Structure 1
């Protein structure tokens, strides 16, 4: 990781990854979120999509909803749907093949053919609960986002053939893309209108290359400024806000540590309450941030005051420089930097 901030109007900033977990909550806690996430709705008599229809489409929508409720990106929606196609053709079935049968009794059941470690039969037959179980374990697979899809699924499902799910990939992608067009408005918890998970245009390209925002690619400030542009209505070049011209006073926005000053220099509001779309600012040493601080974005806010944070470069190697989400208590960050409704 680069450690210097170079001077000049065309400066690229270098954020330090957030390496600690002192107060950031990880693991499966996002699964317990109580507010409503955006819902994918499917009519019972919907026309076939990707060769599937009726209850299959409805079950796919439930699995996608569960991934969104847990704050996971579109990649996770595709994986859980892909797994369900491969296990049960997207039907919650109470039977299995010979491999999942012991003494003539089906041990693995449901839309994802889960064993008793996932809970009682009633839970495994419940599509939403089955999806939550799969997704919770997927989150614990190191680097699942960068694995071959069938391998990522296999790490959860432990199928005898790791390549079993590969042939269902295209169908799952087509289905999720089609159903995503019916995403409803956010529910009671409120969710940022900008972005759809890991949608940074250069998020899977080189690390620390120069990008259209005047940032180093796949750094925390890179993703945060991308979201600011989306919130401001510019999701493609020419971008409204770049590192060099954000402040308007000749100084660059800079590393994460300088964002609070940059926000104030621009005259934009700063506060202590999380709001969807706000930039989360961690001063050096706060929440595990290093000497250059850390910034992220509020994706959704829960009734208990915690919020779902999304960002880049918030995990230690080998999962650094990639997209992440986690639930954070609102007392943790130093400040929240708000993007005004009237942009300027």
Structure 2
């Protein structure tokens, strides 16, 4: 780790490839800083994901007086039928929301007796095809039966609980755009919560959704001393195993937060992130760490994904690179990244945001709940 800092463009301006980011963040183990970070890392097969706890199934009771703004009684009854089918099959609250989301995206929560150009034989709430997989015509037109068949198919998708909701729905429906359902997720959450007989939240659970990462500088250790203030030999590390207020510590905090771990003991640590127990390390080694863990990477910014700059890329430190987090994706070919230690002194080791062109970073490192939009 070097104490040299490099100038950056002002916050809010797109970072050009020639612009220097501040130095890459240090890791907890000084020995790695002395050279091991440059070693070739052995990439192991990915570990099997743990089963997620997505909360208990919820049930609903509605009558003619039940109202949700923007929805008719017919739509509410259909939503209740979907939630009820999930309850019968012990589907979690998140699974029930996914089911309602898909029905919103396919039919607007209406039992349609017609299909479309891509599927003229599609029928019902879920636009299920007449291919034998979804039962008879009567089954597809019945809200409870069609929902039951959808739920069974969803439960048959390996690891669906850890997928982003739209991706889980797409694994069942197999429509052309895996992100077709994304815009219906907020309404699905609203409907299930409004019709539920119990209050609940996905925040802080194993099924927290990437992209809901907090607001601004919520890093828990923002006032802790940096290694520059205490000296590398006596510096303290955060509960995540990284030096306080470095880019890697903030990024690993965001990973934990998005995966539902917001207090000690944290799920993802510098020393235990990789299945081979090698340290996740400095920014230089994060792409290799993702590969070793079997988590996806790509070239498309996704809210909540880690932004990885190889050494020298986009003005990153020539020895250690840099990591940040995608805060917002814009329509003009840029995204807003957030992070720590991305500005020159005296604003180093603090929170920053900046707009960046999508082509500048070396890669985007996704959580296991995300994948690149093709």
TM-score using structure 2 length? 0.42
TM-score using structure 1 length? 0.46
